[in-house]
Chain A
């Protein structure tokens, strides 16, 4: 058996930047207006797979955005409150979250194979490059 290997992915830059953190993966699209509380960073959408979880400091992974265009400004408010995710990774981004990430200086990449990233993995985002270090049951910091 080999050591856990790092996974190197390359996507499309929506907002250039460098960030790292633990992955928080949603299989469902995310909306920010009425979906995430800008005062706490907690997902509040009823029945959402991430309901009750906090996005702050996480590398937030979801297929695409949804919902009201005002969601861009909710992301901005999250960032202004110091509660933004560290980075956002999408399969296919749409304008609301993309604009929100840009105006909030949150590094964002799309066109990634999200099925290869799991909640708890360590993720490093550098421009278009995304490095994933899978979390193992006995992970001893690599």
Chain B
């Protein structure tokens, strides 16, 4: 091994004196490595400087994804004393950190998944908003990590990125797993892409000429437009949506998640609804126009018609309290023949329990699981070869990540399937 020369300054990006000192190792090895990652990524993406971030959302939490190597690295970083500088929340784990045995997880896997969470906890990752945590979720904005309009953050998790940029008007690119951890340790990320106002204008005008009635209709719309959009920024006109109306945030959550799952969409705008569209014109002079007049192809493209569902999954992205209330209403007094799992953030589950919603769902045979995401779980090992969901993103990832058959339908269709068992 040759001796290390003096740390080469990353000379194509302007760093502050403090950032330069961190890169030189003056704050220890964990911070030096974090600065190396943030600076290298900033350079790769063509940033000229870094920007402070108000919060971080970390991905790469499921042990099924990161494996032994990922866990070893997280432990090393925690051992070096790494500690987050800004409020930081975690993406979902593969399983409910408490009820994993009921879900059917293997104890060895569960131990490894717990160890991943413990390593993050040692780095100070917790619930934003003063709660202890960590509460693994893809909806950090439902558990206190709520960035403000115009504020830069460093979030991984594509659906949360779409929500933060579009619904909240915050600014973030889609960070990768280790990149987001590094951003949390130094409280900065590269100032490029969606952090810059000039890159946030819409380049695809979407004229919606079809009635949208349910949350899953917004999901189907997102799946259709995401495929057409690629990396362009959609501007929706013609949505029957009003700020503050019931479920308006759930509809946008579903729309953004599907856009980001089927396209490389990090931000979208909705006429008269989203903050940047309300503030002024957001459509770039050079843009294309597309029209959506039928949602059926969106549902059909994500449905393996031949496969009979063995499980109904609701909560992709993690369900809000209002969505859990919708399910409770539909199953109250019924007896489900198929297992029904609702995934949500742990504080949301606690609220659902307190309001009696969890009890109503349990009485019908359904279950509320916190922390968990089926898309990143070993679904087939749990005994499910086909899953039905009212989420386009869920169906897409069940196929592509979990490797099982999927069916995408409305919430009513999903509950009907659960009640009848598909007969």
Contacts and interface: CB of A to CB of B under 8 A. Distances in A.
Interface of A: 12-20, 38, 69-70, 72-74, 76-77, 80, 93-96, 98-99, 102-103, 126-128
Given A12-B43, A72-B176, A128-B8, 5 more contacts: A14-B40, A16-B36, A70-B60, A73-B73, A99-B178
Interface string B35-48: 01100110110000
Interface stretch (B64-72, B213-221, B386-394): B64-72
Contacts of A69: 60, 176-177
Contacts of A18: 2-5
A15 B7 CA distance: 9
B72 A76 contact: yes
A94 B70 CA distance: 19
B179 interface: yes
A73 B70 contact: yes
Contact of B65 (A20, A70, A77, A96): A70
Interface string B329-348: 00000000000000000000
B3 A76 contact: no
Contacts of A17: 4-5
B40 A15 contact: yes
Nearest to A78: B69
A12 to B, nearest CB: 6
A102 B37 contact: yes
Contacts of A74: 69
A73 B66 contact: yes
B36 A102 contact: yes
B199 interface: no
For the complex of A and B, 3 pairs with smallest distance between CB atoms? A77-B69, A127-B8, A16-B8
30 contacts: A13-B8, A13-B11, A14-B40, A14-B44, A15-B40, A16-B8, A17-B4, A19-B2, A38-B69, A73-B67, A73-B70, A74-B69, A76-B72, A80-B69, A80-B72, A93-B40, A93-B44, A94-B44, A95-B41, A95-B179, A98-B40, A98-B44, A99-B40, A99-B41, A99-B178, A99-B179, A102-B37, A103-B73, A126-B5, A128-B8
Mostly helix, strand, loop or mixed at chain B's interface? helix
B10 interface: yes
Q: How large is the interface on B (under 10, 10 to 19, 20 to 34, 35 or more residues)?
A: 20 to 34
Contacts of A77: 68-69, 72
Nearest to A94: B44
Nearest to A80: B72
B314 to A, nearest CB: 27
B308 interface: no
A118 to B, nearest CB: 23
Interface in B72-111: 72-73
B3 A103 contact: no
Given A12-B43, A13-B10, A93-B44, A99 B176 contact: yes
A69 B69 CA distance: 13
A103 B33 contact: yes
Contacts of A76: 69, 72-73
A12 B13 CA distance: 11
A96 B176 contact: yes
Nearest to B7: A16
A12 B39 CA distance: 12
A24 B305 CA distance: 48
Q: Looking at B2, B11, B67, B179, which has the most chain A CB atoms within 10 Å of its CB?
A: B2
A70 B70 CA distance: 8
Contacts of B148: none
A17 B40 CA distance: 14
B209 interface: no
B176 A73 contact: no
Q: Looking at A18, A69, A74, which has the most chain B CB atoms within 10 Å of its CB?
A: A69
Contacts of B40: 14-15, 93, 98-99, 102
Contacts of A12: 12, 43
Contacts of B7: 16
Contacts of A20: 2
A22 B176 CA distance: 32
A77 B3 CA distance: 23
A126 B2 CA distance: 10
A19 B11 CA distance: 20
Interface string B358-394: 0000000000000000000000000000000000000
